[in-house]
Chains A and B, each alone.
Chain A
Amino acid sequence: MSQQAKSERLMNLVICLLVARGYVPKSRIRRVVGGYGGQSDEAFDRMFERDKDELREVGIPIETGSNDPFGDEEPGYRISRQEFELPEIRLEPDEAAVVGLAARVWQHSGLAAATSNAVLKLQAAGVDADRRALGAVEPRVGGEEPAFWPLWEAVRDRQPVRFSHRKASSATPMLRHLQPWSVLSWHGRWYVLGYDTDREDARMFRLSRIVGDVEPDGVPGSYDVPPSEEVRAAAAALGPAEPRDLPTAKVRIREGSGHILRSQAIDVRPDDEAGWEIATVRYSSTTRLAEEIATHGPDAVALEPAELRTQVIAWLSKVAGVTT
């Protein structure tokens, strides 16, 4: 029952501070809010402090101040209606429908709950959003990496952080110091982008390669995030490169196979031998293309350039266990 009593006390405290016209002195709160009476001074102080903290944590804006500009009066508390209430919002049926769909986008439990709470508040405000309706389009976004939430909090609070991060090619993690700007999903993988204070430049780190905890490394609010266009430009610069004027290679592909090679091809024409085709493929890395061709086993043969041919042969020889 003490659970219910506590909820009643919190509700009555919220109502008391919300309906008051000014700051309510603590002594008055103690008198009028049921549950505070009958406590010793010390017990009341402790109880009241904790109540305020807990209400603030669920998003109730309790302000401290005084009605007396000269500050002689006992300080008081209030909840400003403007800070407390969701402003008027009206959504058209098609807008409400997409809001309902949005509630299912997140797979990360924390963000899924946050979205559901947001939609719930909108529903309480009279928006007719259905969170259960199946949409024709259903994006799912992960974010299950353990580093996701602490980094998102760090971005939100402008909190510099440090963490250990290992490169894809290495087992040994390195300690990084970062002022995070944004947590972003690129090709379905999560990264944090920010200012690396060791490198003195923008850097991007894959979340799944962060080892251990993300630790605070400075004071919240101690840096500024650049304007969103700059953040986006930095992300684009650090992300995968755009295809530009790339060289081409010729690959012989068995008919009906080599889908990926064909999708990169600028030209595919029949070979002299039936059942085979010659594809002209753009590539940015000889090694990558050699890997791709090797993956196709006997269904793809590198023709030119010679360097590509040599690499494919070397690659396959290693798998076959023969020396070239």
Chain B
Amino acid sequence: MAEQGSGGDDVSRQPVKRSQSTQARATQAHSGQEQSGQKQSGQKQPRNKKSPPKPRPDSAPAQVARLLSMLPYLRSHPQAPVSEVAELFGVSERQVIRDLRVLWFSGLPGLSMGDYIEVDMEGVEGEGVISVSNADYLARPLRLRTDEAVALLVALRTLAEVPGSFERDAIDRAITKLEQAAGEVAERAGAVQVQVDGDAVADVAGTVRSALDDGRRLHLSYWVPARDETTERDVDPMRLVVVDGRLYLEGWCRRAEEVRLFRLDRVAGIKVLDVAAQVPREARPRDLSGGLFQPSADDELVTIRLTRAGRWIADYYPCESAEEIGEDEGLEVKLRVRDRRWIRRLALRLGASGTVIDPPDLAEEIVADAKAALSAYE
């Protein structure tokens, strides 16, 4: 058995550093010696089954995994700025420098002169650019792990499902290439499937898409569920978003003069106008990471008593609280409500399976609604 670059076997002590940049290296020189191996007890904690294994970004295995991607990146991007690498890898610049210090002490077995990976620490600390050499054996990143391959492939398939034939061809080609590169782990991609409710709104999505591509204004007839009313408005489109399997147009509503989301299945009519879209510079896409509906403390707090048949409410709408009541599996929930018209309609939908009990004047309004509706049958 032979290894590339023979360093001799008898290197059981802390590697002796190369002579160059001795000053900087000297500050690190003790690092190799004081490893007791005892301090890492935190690494072996039992797996938390609720979330994926997430090693801290500064844990040793995470650092090594990151370096194995960073090395090939640095190789193909000579003189990469520290700031850019930090952003790309989602760590601080200080962490990148700590990573590079680890590299600096790494190399071929034996770690004789010429075995070390070369890191230009002066360039890093001076101009803030990175150059690394003498690591040709780490020229390619690690293979994709199963969860990485699956997560990426499913994300791409979800993109492809969005109607409006959005770059479907490019997505299909990318999927084929990735499946090849991922090898057998790609076969597990069927483990997760995402279905986008797209077919019913494909025409509307196509129109939005063409307006986006041509930078044109749209006219919408849009149904507002709280009022059950169709409104007319001009919208300068910004993007198509899919949240929880539903398609939305995000755009600058010229009627409201703000960024609004329009659910495509509530678009009753759509027309591309012969006007260039003008999205104001201050318009920002909404942050959707917290979900679409973010209740505000200003919204009215409504209490509904649900029977067993009405329990679905707790699954569909974000509730402030939900309490089991009685013996027949009832539930009492509190919801934040912005528009009373919405909750009045919901109460009619619930019928006997849910009763608004607070605020009392709202409960009275609901009874009045039901009586007015009944009068049509007399």
Q: Is A237 an interface residue (CB 8 A)?
A: no
Q: Is B26 an interface residue (CB 8 A)?
A: no
Q: Is A249 an interface residue (CB 8 A)?
A: no
A133 and B224 alpha carbons, distance in the complex (Å): 32
Q: Is B229 an interface residue (CB 8 A)?
A: yes
Given A2-B39, A92-B170, A297 and B348 contact (CB-CB distance below 8 Å): yes
| B4 and A86 contact, CB distance less than 8 A | no
What residue in chain B is nearest A11 (Cβ atoms)? B106
| A152 and B191 contact, CB distance less than 8 A | yes
- B101 cross-chain contacts in A, Cβ below 8 A: 4
Q: Is B272 an interface residue (CB 8 A)?
A: no
For B128-162 the 0/1 string (1 means CB < 8 A from A) is 00000000011011111111111110011011011
Q: How many residues of B contact A (CB 8 A)?
A: 155
| B344 and A7 contact, CB distance less than 8 A | no
| A319 and B102 contact, CB distance less than 8 A | no
Q: How many residues of A contact B (CB 8 A)?
A: 149
B377 CB contact (under 8 Å) in A106, A186, A313: A313
Given A8-B32, A135-B239, A320-B367, A58 and B177 contact (CB-CB distance below 8 Å): no
For B165-185 the 0/1 string (1 means CB < 8 A from A) is 011001101100110110100
A46 and B35 alpha carbons, distance in the complex (Å): 13
| A295 and B349 contact, CB distance less than 8 A | yes
CB A225 to nearest CB in B, in angstroms, measures 8
| B31 and A5 contact, CB distance less than 8 A | yes
- B225 cross-chain contacts in A, Cβ below 8 A: 259
- B297 cross-chain contacts in A, Cβ below 8 A: none
Of the 9-residue stretches A109-117, A195-203, A277-285, which lies at the interface with chain B? Answer: A109-117
| A39 and B37 contact, CB distance less than 8 A | yes
CB A23 to nearest CB in B, in angstroms, measures 8
- A123 cross-chain contacts in B, Cβ below 8 A: 73, 88
B12 CB contact (under 8 Å) in A38, A95, A115: A38
A58 CB contact (under 8 Å) in B2, B55, B351, B370: B55
Q: Is A269 an interface residue (CB 8 A)?
A: no
B69 CB contact (under 8 Å) in A120, A209, A235: A120
CB A141 to nearest CB in B, in angstroms, measures 5
- A32 cross-chain contacts in B, Cβ below 8 A: 3, 7, 9, 11, 109-110
Which of A7, A111, A114: most chain B CB closer than 10 A?
A: A7
| A184 and B192 contact, CB distance less than 8 A | yes
Of the 9-residue stretches B119-127, B307-315, B332-340, which lies at the interface with chain A? Answer: B307-315
Q: Is B296 an interface residue (CB 8 A)?
A: no
A10 CB contact (under 8 Å) in B64, B209, B370: B64
For B88-108 the 0/1 string (1 means CB < 8 A from A) is 111000000010011101111
CB B248 to nearest CB in A, in angstroms, measures 9
- A178 cross-chain contacts in B, Cβ below 8 A: none
A119 and B309 alpha carbons, distance in the complex (Å): 45
A residues 90-140 near B (Cβ < 8 Å) are 90-92, 94-99, 101-103, 105-107, 109-126, 134-140
- A114 cross-chain contacts in B, Cβ below 8 A: 52, 145, 147-148, 150-152
Given A67-B1, A169-B309, A299-B228, A115 and B60 contact (CB-CB distance below 8 Å): no
A221 and B49 alpha carbons, distance in the complex (Å): 18
- A309 cross-chain contacts in B, Cβ below 8 A: 377
A89 CB contact (under 8 Å) in B53, B150, B178, B190: B178
B residues 21-54 near A (Cβ < 8 Å) are 28, 30-37, 39-40, 43-44, 49-54
| A106 and B151 contact, CB distance less than 8 A | yes
Given A19-B137, A138-B242, A187-B197, A35 and B35 contact (CB-CB distance below 8 Å): yes
Given A16-B3, A228-B190, A125 and B170 contact (CB-CB distance below 8 Å): no
| A297 and B61 contact, CB distance less than 8 A | no
Q: Is A171 an interface residue (CB 8 A)?
A: yes
- A222 cross-chain contacts in B, Cβ below 8 A: none
CB B130 to nearest CB in A, in angstroms, measures 13
Q: Is B83 an interface residue (CB 8 A)?
A: no
| A188 and B142 contact, CB distance less than 8 A | no
Q: Is A26 an interface residue (CB 8 A)?
A: no
What residue in chain B is nearest A87 (Cβ atoms)? B181
| A8 and B2 contact, CB distance less than 8 A | no
- A14 cross-chain contacts in B, Cβ below 8 A: 64, 68
CB A121 to nearest CB in B, in angstroms, measures 4
- A120 cross-chain contacts in B, Cβ below 8 A: 69, 88-89, 141
| B166 and A3 contact, CB distance less than 8 A | no
Q: Is B362 an interface residue (CB 8 A)?
A: no
A134 and B54 alpha carbons, distance in the complex (Å): 27
CB A241 to nearest CB in B, in angstroms, measures 15
| B347 and A259 contact, CB distance less than 8 A | no
Query: Which are the 3 A-B pairs with shortest beta-carbon distances?
Result: A37-B12, A188-B244, A188-B245
> Can you give 12 A-B contacts (C-beta < 8 A)?
A2-B34, A5-B34, A58-B64, A89-B180, A115-B151, A124-B76, A156-B191, A183-B191, A294-B373, A298-B369, A316-B351, A319-B366
In addition to A4-B31, A297-B348, 19 A-B residue pairs with Cβ atoms within 8 Å of each other are: A31-B10, A32-B3, A55-B61, A58-B55, A94-B167, A95-B173, A102-B155, A107-B289, A117-B148, A136-B212, A138-B241, A138-B242, A149-B52, A156-B191, A185-B194, A209-B315, A296-B348, A319-B369, A319-B370
